[in-house]
Chains A and B, each alone.
Chain A
Amino acid sequence: MIEFNKVSKKYDGAQFYALKDIDIKIEKGEFVFVVGASGAGKSTFLKLMMREEVASSGNIVVEGVDLNTIKNKDIPQFRRSLGIVFQDFRLIPNMTVYDNVAFAMRVIGTPEKKIRRRVPYVLSLVGLNEKSKSYPRELSGGEQQRVALARALVNNAEIIIADEPTGNVDPQMSYEIVEMLMRLNEAGTTVIMVTHQHSLVRCFDKRVITIKKGEVISDTPAKVGESATAHINAASEITNEYVVPPDEDYSAYVSRSDAPADDADDSQDEGGEN
């Protein structure tokens, strides 16, 4: 569970609060979209959650860990319980795609043998198996974003925090990525995802937190009972946003996106694809 109690954040030297009096509770296993205009404070919200930044006042508790009083030596351990997709990707420039993803596993001391099975599998989930030997600078923005996503998924973290994981990919890929996160969520993972694409949010019927100028202006709970047609409609809606030919068969996206997401569920049993 993630709990924000009266949390405010003002950056050093800043004039205004980036976040003000945030009271939010996110239960274990929830899927939450965070939306809002640029500069509203969405990334700040996530950075506080992963303790990259500290609150200026109020307190944050994540899975029973108080982020104000956590000891420095416990912070690495805490971060390992999170799978994070950063808005700016944060890939290590002098490591290949493979090593960037593998790094997250090496950090927690995973045996090399296990890494060799798991990494190609996760890369295949995001459709980047061919690029595993490339360096980040040799990838497109969307490809880098998917590497960042793969790194966030590779350790089967209990909480996935994704800052605009679909910001640089085409509508089809956006849809597939959210589908994948949705599947992980169904298997019990808490997912918090920031996005600008309102249409993407609308079609998934999940909880939506809207931030405006540092304040939560709306928090709408998930609607139950989504259907396959809703998915198809959603897919077409997203795609329309990016103006694709009207005769495109959107249902193809939906069925295709289901395939890798299925595998994402059996989180411990890696390597099925290779």
Chain B
Amino acid sequence: MGKLNYLTKEGFRNLKVNKLMSVASITVLFSCLMLIGIAFMLLVNIEAFISGVEGENIIMAYVDDAATDIEIKKVGLDLEKIPNVQSVEKINKEEAYRDILSDMDENLKVYLEGLEENPLPDAYRITVRNMSSFDTVVEQVKSVTNIFRVRENSSLAKQLSDLRDSVTTISIVIIVMLLLVSLFIISNTIKVTMFSRRLEISIMKSVGATNSFIRWPFMVEGIVIGVIAGILATGAVWLVSEFALSSLTSSLSIVGASVEVNFIDYALWLALAFVGIGVFTGVFGSATSMRKYLKERKFVELEEE
């Protein structure tokens, strides 16, 4: 126990002693994680934006005027049973009529008020969960009894769903590439660190230190660097999403879609992922790049020439 305590303290002491190298490693790791985080938040925002537009893209199903109240209720229930339907909302003809009237020009209003009966049908507003099955849902809505007309915009729905798919794919490719580049940069940083400390490692070996005894302080260093860089990167991504991304999305909302992405919803996961990546690369990276310096020579009988 005392040994572990000592080795852990050694790890912290080394961070302090090799201050420049520690700061450099943290900076490299931090930059990589921050780029990944920003790419991720961009993805999330674009997805949210598309979803916002999708929200406008709904199916309106108008109920036959002749249908009784019970039949109208049944239409609602039937619609809810269709797979991939996210929500079914009834719009009363009275409400719809009142809305129209309030929006209308005074002159026209007088004309409409002359009508004895509400000319509008009862309707259901259906939102679809998965846009790729939009067409199927439309077909099923059409086949429900007592529906006389369906209004939809399937081509827009399709475009949006395609757009979202490609945005997701591109983002994932970019994030994976960033991740690979980061791993490369980080492993190189660790290699340089190890190289500069190979003397230290060889001395430890020559006085009989076991490999795990030598490794442990390096692991502690890796963990601490990973945690610090992870926390800093989370903070940086938070700042970027709060200020840069939110102003971007608010300008997008002019187009008509409202985007609500709260960084806080992702903060915990992002922080965990960052610290995870940081600790993993720190520990795994130093373990692998140290192996070379820990290796013992092997006896190989030399051929006489």
Contact = CB atoms under 8 A, between A and B. Distances in A.
A binds B: yes
A254 interface: no
Interface stretch (B82-90, B203-211, B275-283): B203-211
A106 B6 contact: yes
A57 B302 contact: yes
B10 to A, nearest CB: 9
Given A50-B206, A76-B208, A109-B3, A55 B299 contact: yes
B60 to A, nearest CB: 74
Contact of A84 (B14, B200, B207, B209): B207
A91 interface: yes
A72 B299 contact: no
A77 B208 contact: yes
A76 B202 CA distance: 12
B206 A86 contact: yes
A90 B206 contact: yes
Interface string A105-123: 0111101100000000000
Nearest to B294: A72
Interface in B167-208: 199-200, 202-208
B298 A54 contact: yes
B297 interface: yes
Nearest to B304: A57
A52 interface: yes
A94 interface: yes
A94 B207 contact: no
B200 A76 contact: no
A90 B202 CA distance: 9
Given A54-B299, A55-B299, A94-B17, A80 B208 contact: yes
B299 A111 contact: no
A110 to B, nearest CB: 10
A58 to B, nearest CB: 9
Given A72-B296, A76-B210, A56 B302 contact: yes
Interface in B1-26: 2-3, 6, 14, 17-18
Interface residues of A, number: 38
A107 B200 contact: no
A75 B14 contact: no
Interface string B31-70: 0000000000000000000000000000000000000000
Contacts of A57: 301-302, 304
Given A54-B299, A55-B299, A91 B209 contact: no
B213 interface: yes
Contact of B297 (A53, A86, A112): A53
B227 to A, nearest CB: 22
Contacts of B206: 50, 52, 79, 84, 86, 90
A90 B203 contact: yes
A103 interface: yes
A206 B203 CA distance: 30
Contact of A103 (B18, B204, B297): B204
Contacts of B301: 56-57
B200 A93 contact: yes
A82 B206 CA distance: 10
Contacts of B202: 90
Interface in B126-185: none
A107 B204 contact: yes
A10 interface: yes
Contacts of A51: 296-297
Contacts of A86: 206
B203 A92 contact: yes
A67 B296 CA distance: 12
A151 interface: yes
A268 interface: no
A30 to B, nearest CB: 22
A90 B203 CA distance: 6
Interface of B: 2-3, 6, 14, 17-18, 199-200, 202-211, 213, 296-302, 304
Interface of A: 8, 10, 50-57, 67-69, 72-73, 75-80, 82, 84, 86, 90-94, 103-104, 106-109, 111-112, 151
30 contacts: A10-B302, A52-B206, A54-B298, A55-B299, A56-B302, A57-B301, A57-B302, A68-B299, A78-B208, A79-B205, A79-B206, A80-B208, A86-B206, A90-B202, A90-B203, A90-B206, A92-B203, A92-B204, A93-B199, A94-B17, A103-B204, A103-B207, A107-B207, A107-B208, A107-B210, A107-B213, A108-B208, A109-B3, A112-B6, A151-B207
